[in-house]
Amino acid sequence: MTTFIQGLMTGILMGCVYAFFAIGFTLVLGVMKVVNFAHGAFVVMGMYLTIFVFMNYLWDPFLSLLVVIPSMFVFGLIVFYLVIRPIMQQPLSAHVIATIGLLIVIENVITLIFGSQYRTVTVPYTTSAIVVGSIRIGIARMVAAATSLCVIGLFYLLLHKTDFGRAVRACADDIEGAWGLGIDVHRTYLIAFGIGSVLAGVSGAVVMPFAVASPGGGLDIVIKTFVIVIIGGMGSVGGALLGGLIIGMVEGIVSALWSPAIAIAAVFIILIIMLAMKPEGFLKRISE
């Protein structure tokens, strides 16, 4: 029983973090209809920027956000112009190949600079935990989960309470209509992609206190993100949270009771069931 609860608790916390990984991806997918496999690499970039800052200045990951956020935004703008905009008109197969190409380039550049060994960032609270009975909840994870929830909330507000958010939702819904309303669709796409990149990078930074980074981790992250987005609904923020929590909990519980490999299998079985029953996901898109 305690294993179950331990798995559940870890799972919920990780679920929030996974949801955070996913919102940048779902934003880009919902607004621009582009599947960005390199999203996972963006997350890894956030991790390594944090590692870099830590290695040289010993800053806490949250402090290094001062570096991560602007860097990822600028990087996102560049990638948008060079890669994303050209492939938007092309079919899915082009998105897949181009963004996988991008993923390969990013991850290998990181390997060139940092080497392929695992790296971590150790902060004062890395190993601390709250212990209740035989259940151990890491402080670092809790902080990450809390941050994730805050960012998701803020992002939701951005989408629904600001002019920019309205522009984004309009573009996601009906491009012609958006133009008609005087919205600069290209600029909206550009900034949205920049924001998506920032979200990815920050989500990577935020897990560094407890996670282990490796250059090749991007693909696993983006695949998991994909599953979350299918479950939750493409382009839906609430859906990303729902999907993240479901995946997190399933992964946590199954890993604890059986093994991590079976957990992966379980996640994919859920995906297959979702595709058959409700491929559009549980929640509605950004526009609605």
Name every residue whose Cβ is closer than 8 Å to that of residue 60 and which is 6 or more positions away in sequence.
123
* Helix-, strand-, coil-residue percentages of the chain, each rounded to 5: 75, 5, 20
CB nearer to another protein: give 148 or 197.
197
- C-alpha closest to that of 34 among 229, 266, 273, 205: 229
Q: Report, in Å, the least distance between residue 42 CB and another protein.
A: 15
CB nearer to another protein: give 38 or 190.
38
DSSP 212: -
CB atoms within 10 A of CB 270: 17
Q: Report, in Å, the least distance between residue 130 CB and another protein.
A: 32
Residues making contact with another protein (CB under 8 A): 35, 83, 86-87, 90, 92-94, 96-98, 100-105, 108-109, 111-112, 219, 223, 226-227, 230, 259, 261-262, 264-265, 268-269, 271-272, 275-276, 279
Q: Report, in Å, the least distance between residue 88 CB and another protein.
A: 12
Q: Report, in Å, the least distance between residue 84 CB and another protein.
A: 11
Residue 137, phi then psi, degrees to nearest 5? -120, 115
CA distance 59 to 52: 10
Q: Report, in Å, the least distance between residue 17 CB and another protein.
A: 20
CB nearer to another protein: give 1 or 277.
277
CB nearer to another protein: give 181 or 262.
262
Match 């939702």 to its residue by tokens. 169
CB nearer to another protein: give 102 or 151.
102
8 A C-beta contact, residue 245 and residue 15:
yes
8 A C-beta contact, residue 200 and residue 71:
no
